[in-house]
Amino acid sequence: MKTITLDQWKVVLTAVGDVIAAKEKHLNELDSLIGDGDHGSSMKRGFEAVRSLIAESSHTNVGELFSGVGAVLLQEIGGAVGPLLGSFFTAAARQARDLHEVDLAVWSAMFAAGVAKVRQFGKASPGDKTMLDALQPACDAFETANRQSLPLQDAFRKAAGEARLGAEHTAGWVAKFGRAKFLGERAIGHQDPGATSIYFMLDAMAEALSRMEESR
């Protein structure tokens, strides 16, 4: 697979919503250990709204779709996660303005723009026990895959793997942001739910793209 079309992105984002819904309880359990305990429910609500957006709206290009997704997530997901994910998709959308499909080079630029906006907006860095601990290694993986001219589905698989490792590493750190920062060393041993949800999102994207490739 060399490009992802607008219609394919709609399928991919719907698949993300399905996975997030299936992982709601697990994400809530992770969040209950170091946060408010509602991260999974908030993410599920956000991507249910994305599903409605996809079904009800007539987007004409990828940039419009991602901009719409960003606005919906900003509105529907509570706490800090909504603004952060919303800003990610909105920033990514600017790199896909007027495009009806994106290749790996464009997607890598979209993802990098999204990560940069999350870093700017959230003031966090990798190692702070946040979603960036999954986003940044995934971003690096996409950039490497682009240099190596890998097929898109392989690039997503590698990025998802790096995001999983990044999320797992957060269990060994204290938190510097959010409610978890007040726990100090008591947060050690507990994986960050935000980073974990980023892994689930990328893994869902990779699986959806692999199914598309297999069906061709």
CATH of the domain at 51: 1.25.40.340
Tokens, residue 51: 């599903």
In the 8-state DSSP scheme, what is residue 210? Answer: H
| pTM over the 0.85 mark | yes
Q: Exposed, middle or buried: residue 39 (CB in 10 Å: 0-12, 13-18, 19+)? A: buried
What CA–CA distance (Å, rounded) separates 77 from 199?
18
Block residue for tokens 């996809």: 54
Structural domain boundaries, residue 41: 3-215
pLDDT of residue 188: 67
The domain total for the chain is: 1
Tokens, residue 100: 């009806």
How many C-beta atoms surround the C-beta of residue 215 within 10 A?
6
pLDDT of residue 216: 75
Name the E strands within the chain.
3-5, 101-103
pLDDT of residue 178: 61
Q: pLDDT tens digits for the chain (216 residues)? A: 899 999 999 999 999 999 999 999 999 999 988 778 899 999 999 999 999 999 988 899 999 999 999 999 999 997 889 999 999 999 999 999 999 999 999 999 999 999 999 999 888 889 888 999 999 999 999 999 999 999 999 999 999 999 999 999 998 766 665 655 544 554 566 789 999 999 999 999 999 999 998 887
Block residue for tokens 């993802």: 111
- Per the CB < 8 A criterion, the answer to whether 65 and 108 are in contact is no
